[in-house]
Structure formats: structure tokens, C-alpha cells
Structure 1
């Protein structure tokens, strides 16, 4: 009985303590808080800090780096900052406390971009509505391992696959989009940073895109899976891995297609295959589609890298103009290129377009504001996907 009374008093005291802490401003903090006018308030309880700043994707940049802004400290030792009304988008951010970068302890929603972990928030009433989970039928996302006979060092490789709503309950065969990540990314990138499943669910529900399977492989030939998901265990991700742009990924890509077409109900022909990628993935998409010029009817290059970063004698990069001509002769429904006006790859894309113009190859070109960002790449996926597999 005494133990019971002691435990009861302890719980009451602890609860009272937490309540007092909340009343004093250190407890139930809401951060971020999106207001009706699309402004956002951020809050951090840091009573001992001398200076707190916030760094976020909506802020101005200098030389590619975000310029942090100072937060204000109130009488409850809570540092606050409220933005102007923001355009609808998904934003990442972090705090800088006395020079140390930290995540927001009141926001459990985070993403990893290569080796950087940031908090995220979404401001709706616009294009970010495409990225949100809505009350529509949902597809299935699975992570699987497949055999890659072409890769002697990493024959077992991890892959992310989206199947559309209703796939499990039907006998229908589906077209396939192979969606490739950029340098430093992996098979998780398009799901976590690109919001692929949410975008596809919403577009399909709205009748804007055909139901399709989306395949997101790991484009790093020397990496069997995302950091923390492989036999190498937990390690710090690297931005530039070996054997990423020297031909191995492109020449081995039929291993991916063979796995998908052997294990999923797909329409296994050129007319029902698409390939697209961002940055390094755009580089891979360009070269896979011309090295195998009768494999894809749809090609999407999102802010593509054009020139390989590694010196190589791979046959993948030989006779580029001739193989592009062959790709053109075989017929292609859509060759789609998009890039931001301030992207550091803008000039190389401009030069590549001159090559396409020279051989009179039809393509669609989209130029947007902004640079080499996930904000652009999500938009490109939203615009590109509805153009696929239309009869």
C-alpha cells in the first residue's frame, strides 16, 4: 500500500512538473506552425544559447549556400522566427545554435540528402498539394533485392518499386517508368526527397496519369544499397562514389529490366517503357536510352549531367551522335528535357540540345526558374508523368 501511494505521488509530482514546464514555455512547443496566410512560425527552447539562427530553403542564397537569419528570444527563453507568406512547396530547414547546426526537436519529420539530415514542412494551397498524402487510393511501395549478374562485386542489389493502386487485386499488365536518382543519392532518394508515391497516387486518382509501375534502382554501381541498408552497416554517406559515371551502371541496366519483367505484371515492350532521371540520373537515362536505342519510347532528362566526371574508355560513351540517330530512327514518343535557368549544368544542356538540333531529333524542352533543386525535380516529375503511355 505504501509503495502504491508513493508511486501515485511520484506520478502526480512528475505530471505537475511537466505542466509547470509547459506553462513556462519549455514544454508543449509547436514548431513549425503553418498559418492561414502561408507564413510559418518556428520555435526553439534554448535558454543558454547566445545566438540562434534558422536556415531554410525559402531564404536567399549566396554562392549556392543559404544565408541564415537570426531568431528572436522571448521572455520564456523561446527563440522564434516567422516568415513572410511562402509559396506552396516542401521546404527543409535546420537551426544553428551558437554555430552548431541542429534539427528542430519539436519536428519529427526529417529527410536525409546524402549526409545531411534536415527537418521538413509543407505549405499547401498550391503545388505542394501534389506531394501530400490525400484521401485517394494508394499504391504499394516495396524494397526488394535482385540479382545483378553483370555486377561481380555487388550481385545482390536493393531496389525500390511502386505499384499503382489496385495492382494486387487485378490481373492487368502495366507500363513501367524507371526513375533514376542523382549523385549522392540511392534507391531511397526519389521516395523520400522526391515524394514519388504521393505524386503518383494523386495524379492517377485525378486521371492525369496512367496507372504505372515506377522502379527506382540504386544508380551507384559500387553500392549494393542505401547507407544503413547494406552489409556494410551504418556509415556516413559519400557524395561521389566510384564507378558512377564510367559506363558500368548503363551497361548493366538490363539486369534491372529483367528482374522487373520476370517478377511483375508489365507490358514488356518499348512502347510501355520510360526512363527518366535527375542530374547524374539524367546522365544515366541519356546514355542507357541511346546505348540500348530500341528499349524506351519515353526519355526524361531532369537537369541532366551531360559529360562524364570520370575518365573512361567504356563503349557506352562511344559514337554518341550515331546512336542518338539510331534512337531517332527507331522512333521515340517523347524526349523531354527540363532545367532551371540558374542551374550550374545549364550550359552543358544547351550544348547537348545543339547536338539534338543538328541531327533533327524532336524533343520537348522546359526551362524553369531556380537551379539544381529537389523543388524543381518534383515539379518535373509532376509534369513529365502525365505525358507517358498515352494512347
Structure 2
């Protein structure tokens, strides 16, 4: 993987996915409600209509409790205060970006998950999650529409000497018409996440269901698999080698999917997309394997240059996106250059978000209608 691509990714990732405290902020509105991703029956954490988050942790013998949500307090977190009832309580110093965020709790130096919140795999561990209501959240809401299916598959991988896991989204009606075939998007997660991220944190299945119900897209399959074949720690992306995962994806997973699902098993019927590190994987693999995919999408995961692409005729779409708090000008400039070179290239900037899942949810919503036309 090229060093300049690595540098670009870290440039994206170093943009905080949290909004920082604002000076002269308005008074906090006391309309707090439990986060929608709390454990069943748990009142905390809570969020309000302004985007503030409020926490309550039971640690009666603790000396210090800090929530790592990025606003106020020591070390960039929210420092909780011990109340008379013995519970540790606190509110972020400012509103958060809309959408989903990972966090954890540090109690006397030890790192724990919040017992009140559901856990999501991110940062190479199961982390607590919180959802700040978004003004446009309707597009990924659970609605009374026909729903597709997200199923786990285990596919043989000779190159890694094991069976590997993937999740496959099949659209509503897939199992009814046995003669119909579908294009496929191979959709990759970010660093420290796994194949559960796009459905659990990204709600990609609900985005698909809603778009299909509205008649905005042609149905297609989505395949999500684990993108790490050599484990690396934070800051060690330069040691990541694409070849082992490329083998798993191109030589093992794709043939398995084509053999076991009703797919359009041609480059015209395949797309590859990814967020952050998954975008870097997409960038490298699509360039290395121009005969496999025809639609490319990088979501906060770098850009393409015309001179990198060997055969223009094989590329049907290039989609590049990021949040407005990342590097939007770089995305816009790259797409402008691609268009000037004759490519069908599209940029999308998620307003008011950074390197976080609302950026990628919105990006996928914009990408899906452009695929397989």
C-alpha cells in the first residue's frame, strides 16, 4: 500500500469524530431521553434535542470516572462528578455531532464499557455506543416496509487455512423469484471494526429497504466481510499488506458468493466500496484487479487519480465522499479532475459531520441510486 495513500487516510482519521465544546453555548434544554442504543430498560446514557449527552455510572468506591466521548473534562473526555446518592453523573460540555459514536468509561484508570449502553465492535474491541438523533435520520429508520435479510455465511479460505465469516444482505423478494439475478456490492468496514459494522452501526440494511420501498434504487446484494488478514495496532497501517486480503476477497469470497447466490457474475455486476481503511482496501484492490469490479466508492478513504487507472473503459462509476469536517476540498478536486479526464465521477460531502458513521450512512444513501444503471 502506497505511503501517500496511508498519509491521506490518517489525515482523515485524525479529524475528530466529535464536535468540540462551543463558547457562549446556549443553555442546556432539559428534554433528555435514553439513547436509542441503550441496553433494554436502561435510562442512561441520555441525549437531548440539542445533541448533548448525559451519563450516570454506578461506581460507589471509585475516585475518578471519565467518559471518553470527547467533550470537556480531563484528557478530552467528560469528567463525571459523584452525587450525594453515590452515582457518578455528568453532561458533555457541548453538543455532539449527530449520529452514532463509540465511547468507553475510565474508572480509576481502568477502561470499561458503560453497563447502560449496547456494545459495538470498533477500535479493535467491543465499545459502548450512543446515538445522537439526526435531523435526517428518517432514511435509516426502521419502517413498516418490506425488509431484506442479513445472513451470516462461512466460506472456505485455503489461503488462511480456515473458514471466514461474511454477512450478506439480500433484498426483499430475493427468495420468491428464483430466476432473478442481482448485482453485488462488496462493502468494507473501517480500521478496528469488523463485518458487523455496516449493519449494526451503519444500518445499511434499513437504508436499502427504505430506498427500495421508495423506488429509488434497483435491488442488489451487499456482502460484508472482515478486512483484516494481518492484525495491526493503531498507528501501524504502514505494515498492512493488501495481498492476503485481496486473495481472500477476489479468489475465495467472490467465487463462493457467485456459486451460492443468484448474482450477476460479471464485472458490470460488481462494485467495491469501503469506509476509511475499507476505502484504502477498495482503492488498492480495484486498481490491482480491474477485471473484477466496475463501480468504485471511497467513503472517507482517499481518492483516485486518473493516471492510476489502467483502463478507463472498465470503470462505470467512481464515487468519493467525506464529511464536511474532514477534507472536502480534496474530494471535490479529485472528482473534478476525474470528470475532466472523462470518468463518470461523483462527489458527496456530508454536512456537519466528520470521520463517523453518519457521514458513511449518508454517503451510502447517495451512492446506492447511482449503482448498476
142, 155, 159: which one pairs with 1:146?
Answer: 155
- Offset at residue 147 of structure 1 (A): 2.8
Q: Cα 1:40–1:331, aligned 2, differ >3 Å: closer, same or farther?
A: closer
Structure 1 residue 39: deviation in Å? Answer: 4.5
Give the aligned partner of residue 316 of structure 1: none
- Equivalent residues in 2 for 1:153-164 (5 A)? 153-154=160-161, 156-164=163-171
C-alpha offsets along residues 307-364 of structure 1, whole Å, 9 cap, x if unaligned?
9xxxxxxxxxxxx9666141x12351x21111345548987x7896697478543422
The answer to whether the 8 Å contact 2:300/2:355 transfers is yes
Matched, 1:336 2:319: yes
In the TM superposition, residue 220 of structure 1 has moved relative to its aligned partner by 2.4
**Count of aligned residue pairs for this structure pair:** 328
Superposition deviation, residue 66 in structure 1: 7.1
- Does structure 1 residue 169 correspond to structure 2 residue 176? yes
Find out whether 1:202 has 2:210 as its counterpart: yes
Kindly indicate whether residue 137 of structure 2 is the aligned counterpart of residue 124 of structure 1. no
Q: Give 1:99's aligned residue.
A: 109
For residue 189 of structure 1, the aligned residue among 180, 197, 202 is 197
Among 299, 319, 343, the residue aligned to 1:361: 343
Indicate yes or no: 2:337 matched with 1:379. Answer: no
1:1-391 matches, cutoff 5 A: 30-35=43-48, 39-56=52-69, 59=71, 67-83=76-92, 88-107=98-117, 109-124=118-133, 126-149=135-158, 151=159, 153-154=160-161, 156-171=163-178, 172-222=180-230, 238=233, 244-250=240-246, 253-305=250-302, 324-326=309-311, 328-332=312-316, 334-340=317-323, 343=326, 356=338, 359-368=341-350, 370-390=353-373
SS where residue 199 of structure 1 aligns? Answer: helix
Where does structure 2 lack aligned partners over 5 or more consecutive residues?
Answer: 1-40
Deviation at 1:263, TM superposition (A): 0.7
Change over 3 Å in CA distance of 1:74–1:321 after alignment to 2: closer
- 1:216 Cα shift? 0.9
Which whole-Å CA distance do the structure 1 matches of 2:306 and 2:50 have between them?
51
- Structure-1 separation of matches of 2:132 and 2:242: 40
1:24 matched residue in structure 2: none
1:301: Cα distance to partner?
0.9
Q: What residue is the counterpart of 2:11 in the other structure?
A: none
Q: TM-score, normalised by structure 1?
A: 0.70
Q: Secondary structure at the match of 2:104?
A: strand
Q: Is the 8 A contact 1:220 1:243 kept in 2?
A: no
Distance 1:115 1:292 in 2: 28
**Secondary structure at 1:247 match in 2:** helix
Aligned partners of 1:303 and 1:345 also within 8 Å: no
Contact kept? 2:217, 2:368, Cα under 8 Å? yes
Q: Which secondary structure state, in structure 1, belongs to the residue aligned with residue 63 of structure 2?
A: coil
Asked if the contact 1:344–1:372 (Cα under 8 Å) also holds between the matched residues in 2, the reply is no
CA distance in 1, matches of 2:132, 2:228: 33
CA contact (8 A) 2:155 2:164 kept: yes
**Bigger radius of gyration:** 1
Tell me, in whole angstroms, the C-alpha distance in 2 between the residues paired with 1:66 and 1:356.
42
The farther-off stretch of 157-166 and 46-55 is 46-55
Which shifted more, 87-96 or 207-216? 87-96
Q: Is the 8 A contact 1:221 1:243 kept in 2?
A: no
Which gives a bigger RCO, structure 1 or 2 (Cα 8 Å, sep 6+)? 2
In the alignment, the residues of structure 2 paired with residue 292 and residue 330 of structure 1 have an alpha-carbon distance, to the nearest angstrom, of: 11
Structure 2 CA distance for partners of 1:155 and 1:306, relative to 1, 3 Å = farther
Instruction: From the superposition, tell whether residues 100 and 330 of structure 1 become closer, same or farther in structure 2 (CA, over 3 Å).
Output: closer
Note the residue ranges of structure 1 that are not aligned, 5 or more in a row. 1-27, 224-236, 308-319
Q: Counterpart in 2 of 1:22?
A: none
Secondary structure class of the residue paired with 1:119? strand
CA RMSD, Structure 1 to Structure 2 (Å): 3.6
